[in-house]
Amino acid sequence: MTSDYEDEEVRVIVGKVAPGATVDDLEMIASINDGDLQDLNDNIAFEKVTTENLDDNGELAGIEYDDADAGQYVALMATTEDGDGLTVDDENLNPEGPATIIGVEGFLVHQNTSEVTEPSSVDQGENATFTVDETGLSGDDVGHMIALYDGETFADSRLDVTVEEEFGEDFSKDDVQIESDIGGVEGVVSVDDGVDSDRFSGMLDFDTIIQHATNETPFSDEQFEAGDTILNASATAVVAGSDDVSIDVGTHENWTDGDYQWVHVATTGEADEYVTSEGTLTIGEDDTGVPGIPGPGPDPDPKDPPEFSVSNAELSDTKITTGDSVDVTATVTETADKSGTFTAELIIDGDVVDEQDVVLTPGGEETVSFTHTFDSEGDYEVAVNDATAGTVSVYDSLEPKFDVTSASLSEDEIEVGDDVDVTATVENSGGDSGTFTAELTVDGDVVAEEDVTVDSGDSETVTFTESFEETGEFEIAVSGTSAGTLTVDDDSGLLPVPGFGPAVAVLALLSVALLIARRQPN
């Protein structure tokens, strides 16, 4: 983008495309950067070189170019890194030093202006009928094209093409990034060349349009980023005579009301035989009134609508049992000093469950109140319009409700006389806090108790430490929730070796004994 070259000096070169030649912007840039200018100079007669300065936004306000000949032209913008950069000699482009192409633009110079009669207005979904009265061209095979589009939306949109890699032999479209404000075009396209005809009505993705214009395969999602702007636009192309040609351009039923730009282009196919014309017409409602009678003027005393705000939303209770009700109150204020009626909405978990109309005087304030019954357990988010009141928690009972949700053993195998830790999680799903007595059982017998206090909707951990003096397998549980089976074995009598199990300890002791035996004298 030229915004990267703010306040820099640039060279602008204009050339005329030879009749019948086609020029691809990216291939042209690649040829220049490769220093291979033969094809360009064969197809383009370069005529004008001027030095300009970009502004602090990296933009060029414009240049004047006067030429007597009609035809297709291209303009290049390049920075000069060293020496003279790009120069023009005998209509040929010559590199006289390093240069970087930062912009390419194509444009047409028309021979005359065509005379076209357009409708003053047309409703959505109907054809806009244009009459080409005179073109100044000759022949029965004149190509006419009329484009009708939302000029304001098009002018406000932006299309950025960024080349990520240096140009060279391996350059391809995969090295190009495209970012467009326009995401799609909605309208009607009609083509009739006198032999075949085709018509399309609906929405086209902008990616598809660019693919068709560049004769390329689709761009990937990483290469093409489209905005959400939809451009209303239609076009009709026909092959007919030079004068007195009627052309219908379709409009789409989804188009918005307003003034639309139209452009007519006619050509015989020769590069220097172009004529154009442009204008505007109204799509949709025409507010000018009955023809010959002025439309109504503006209301001398327009009535601005009232404006409202909702605040101070509150709940009478935040914890209730199923079947109980909660009062929800809020303050509605009129803020535009206009009287009016406001519809207050009670919203539960995003759904409107009740409404209430409130009549307010200019700048007035009223309190609205709703009563809502909750029949199911759970947590509910409550609001009045956009003012949040809070969360209502609905329980089966407001008494504490305890459950031991999990229990576990620190070890599942110990020796006689060793300790084991038993850990359990106690959850309170009731509506109030309370104290729970957790019971440790061994083979169904209670051997220990621990009191634990748990808040409503919370959980706590309780831990027991128990030793066993007998061998065997024991079923361990906390208040009915199994922690697992504990195996208690005889004491092996071996000295403990930190960090090793019994088998490794035995090996260690045998190794020590062997070492001692080797050191004994014979």
Question: Per-domain residue ranges for the chain?
Answer: 2-109, 113-283, 308-395, 402-489
Q: Answer yes or no: pTM beyond 0.85.
A: no
Sign of CA dihedral 76, 77, 81, 84: positive
For the ranges 326-335, 392-401, 507-516, the maximum mean pLDDT occurs at: 326-335
- pLDDT score at 27: 56
If residue 508 lies in a helix (H) or strand (E), which one and from where to where? helix 502-519
pLDDT of 371 > 90? The answer is yes
**Three-state DSSP class for 313?**
strand
Q: How would residue 92 be classed by pLDDT, with cut points 50, 70 and 90?
A: confident
pLDDT of 243 > 50? The answer is yes
Please give the residue that has the higher pLDDT: either 383 or 242: 383
pLDDT of 292 > 60? The answer is no
- pLDDT score at 21: 62
Residues near 514 by Cβ (< 8 Å), separated by ≥ 6?
Answer: none
pLDDT of 475 > 90? The answer is yes
Ranking 43-52, 171-180, 504-513 by mean pLDDT, the lowest is: 504-513
Please give the residue that has the higher pLDDT: either 220 or 38: 38
pLDDT of 365 > 50? The answer is yes
Q: What are phi and psi of 113, to 5 degrees?
A: -105, 125
Mean pLDDT of 102-127: 83
Query: pLDDT tens digits for 307-321?
Result: 999 999 999 999 999
Query: pLDDT tens digits for 199-215?
Result: 888 777 766 666 655 55
Q: Which fold has domain 402-489?
A: Immunoglobulin-like (2.60.40)
Ranking 216-230, 252-266, 377-391 by mean pLDDT, the lowest is: 216-230
Mean pLDDT of 28-38: 56
- pLDDT score at 66: 66
Let me know: does 69 contact 108? Beta carbons within 8 Å.
Answer: no
Q: Which fold has domain 308-395?
A: Immunoglobulin-like (2.60.40)
pLDDT of 166 > 60? The answer is no
Residues near 512 by Cβ (< 8 Å), separated by ≥ 6?
Answer: none
- pLDDT score at 265: 86
Mean pLDDT of 290-294: 47
Query: pLDDT tens digits for 36-88?
Result: 567 777 778 887 677 787 777 767 666 676 665 777 778 878 787 666 677 88
pLDDT of 522 > 50? The answer is no
d(CA 35, CA 361): 77
pLDDT of 300 > 70? The answer is no
d(CA 505, CA 497): 6
β-partners of residue 230 are 184
Assess whether the region 308-395 and the region 402-489 belong to the same CATH fold.
yes
